[in-house]
Amino acid sequence: MTDVKNLEELFQAKVDGELKIEPKDWMPDGYRKNLVRQISQHAHSEVVGMLPEGNWITRAPNLRRKAILLAKIQDEAGHGLYLYSAVETLGTTREKTVDDLLGGKAKYSSIFNYPTLTWADIGAVGWLVDGAAIMNQVMLCRTSYGPYARAMVRICKEESFHQRQGYEIMSVLSKGTPEQREMAQDALNRWWWPSLMMFGPSDANSPHSAQSMKWKIKRQSNDELRQTFIDRTVQQAEVIGLKVPDPKLKWNESTQHYDSGEIDWTEFNNVVAGNGPCNKERLAARNKAHDDGAWVREAAMAYAAKKAKRKAA
Ligand code: BYC
């Protein structure tokens, strides 16, 4: 008992001293479980996040836009792979992690349960969804678990390009015909509130935050990150002449932040519980992709078995 207490103290001292925790280091069970939970949800979000954008590959307005969109979606697949590998370093298997998603047991970001109805939604996803993601992920580059922190460095570089390409789409549309401008405004109207929900419940209702901050898994709270996102994004919207759909939005001179309206937490809870506009469609698409890919996994396993047999002979 005393031994565990000592180990916990040493562990916390290491975290407080900004040393990274590596896979073979001793760590409290709760730290391991919390990381498996967060990193696997993050990995699933990257992979499910390919679906709303994939919907527009065949309908991108020109070859340049199509090439950029394809590259972006491939980046998301890569992010999923780094993160699934990071989860494996904590002693879980990739199969179990993926099965949890396919069986509907694991969570992934609420945002990917909304539909992409027009081309402007691809701009809004890049600008707002990747914008919110990067705001959260920059702090994760300094997270205490080494493999997660290192994966995030590369992911952030790519997310930053994604955010810019989305903003550029919105900027071009907002300078286009009245119909294009209207399409951009409509996309902002529909994606604004779900993007704010990406940061998670308010600090007062976030069960994992306090412990995650103590362990330096998280470095900033859900509400702090959401506020920084609002402050930056409102100004970006102004530059391209779009209006953020929040009548309560107002610059507050004393706090030097924007005040904003209340998020619809009932909607958030419904989407997280599996009842968003596209939850069922997303899980069905992932299950189909997994089933269709069975032959690839079988071929890879057969090749590995054959190689091992040859080596043993
Ligand atoms: N959606 O105590 P809390 C991307 C859950 S994808 C669904 O605050 P935590 C991209 C939460 O999991 C980037 N569930 O939790 C890809 C917890 O549930 P459990 C996605 C949510 O972990 C393709 C419960 O609510 N980014 O970039 O301390 C195309 C209580 O919450 C959500 C990440 O995954 C949500 N929005 O904080 C384009 C970043 N929010 O596990 C772009 C890594 C909360 O108790 N993750 N929940 O059942 C994190 O930083 C943290 O997990 C969160 C939540 C800030 C999201």
Q: What is the pLDDT of residues 118-139, one digit of tens each?
A: 999 999 999 999 999 999 999 9
Sign of CA dihedral 46, 52, 55, 60: negative
Q: What is the pLDDT of residues 255-304, one digit of tens each?
A: 999 999 999 999 999 999 999 999 999 999 999 999 999 999 999 999 99
* Token pair in block for residue 166: 């989305």
Q: What is the pLDDT of residues 219-269, one digit of tens each?
A: 999 999 999 999 999 999 999 999 999 999 999 999 999 999 999 999 999
Per-residue pLDDT band at 1 (split at 50, 70, 90): low
Q: Is 39 a pocket residue for ligand 1 (Cβ < 6 Å)?
A: no
The Cα 211–Cα 226 span in angstroms is 19
The DSSP bridge pattern shows strands 250-252 and 257-259 to be: antiparallel
Say how many Å lie between the CA of residue 37 and the centre of ligand 1.
10
What one-character DSSP code corresponds to residue 175?
T
In this model, does residue 2 exceed pLDDT 80? no
Say how many Å lie between the CA of residue 311 and the centre of ligand 1.
44
Say how many Å lie between the CA of residue 3 and the centre of ligand 1.
34
Geometric angle at alpha carbon 131, from 122 and 214, rounded to 5°: 140
Radius of gyration of the chain (CA): 21
Say how many Å lie between the CA of residue 132 and the centre of ligand 1.
11
Phi, psi of 92 (to 5 degrees): -100, 165
The Cα 10–Cα 36 span in angstroms is 22
Cβ within 8 Å of residue 268, ≥6 positions away:
110, 197, 201
Q: Is 208 a pocket residue for ligand 1 (Cβ < 6 Å)?
A: yes
Q: Is 220 a pocket residue for ligand 1 (Cβ < 6 Å)?
A: no
